[in-house]
Amino acid sequence: MPSNRKNGGEGRVQRKRERNRERERERERERERERERERERERERERERERERERERARERERERERERERERERERERERGVREGGKARREKRRKQRERRRSRREKTRKQRDKRRARRKKWRKQEGRKARREKRRKQ
């Protein structure tokens, strides 16, 4: 059993343990402060990203407004042209459009009918061939 006098008196071990505990607490506090700083940095980055998104949305809104203005100008030009040409030109344009649509419809109908006829003819031939084969086999 070591004598207390030689080892620096009563409670040396307790003092040592206390110092260790104190050091450990200090380290823990430092780690906590570091974590807090990290969280703060993360929040700052998030705020920055949010600001960037906000700026992007603003730019998008501005582009949209510009497109709208452009469309408005285009409509205005169209109105002007309509006024200059009068109603007749517009009616003529509409008639031409109708005509074009009708001819396109007829063309497609014609093509469809041709295809149908061809298919029908082919089926008929196939039927004839099959019957001929049957007769030949008998």
What pLDDT was estimated at residue 68?
95
Chain centroid to CA 16: how far?
63
Cβ neighbours for 82, distance < 8 A, ≥ 6 positions apart: 89, 90
Q: How far is CA 94 from the centre of its chain?
A: 38
Give the pLDDT score at 8. 60
- What's the full length of the chain, in residues? 138
First CA to last CA across the chain, in angstroms?
123
Whole-angstrom Cα distance, residue 60 to residue 80? 30
- Taking 50 as the pLDDT cut, the residues of the chain under it are 1
| Number of H-type helices and E-type strands within the chain | 1, 0
pLDDT at 16: 87
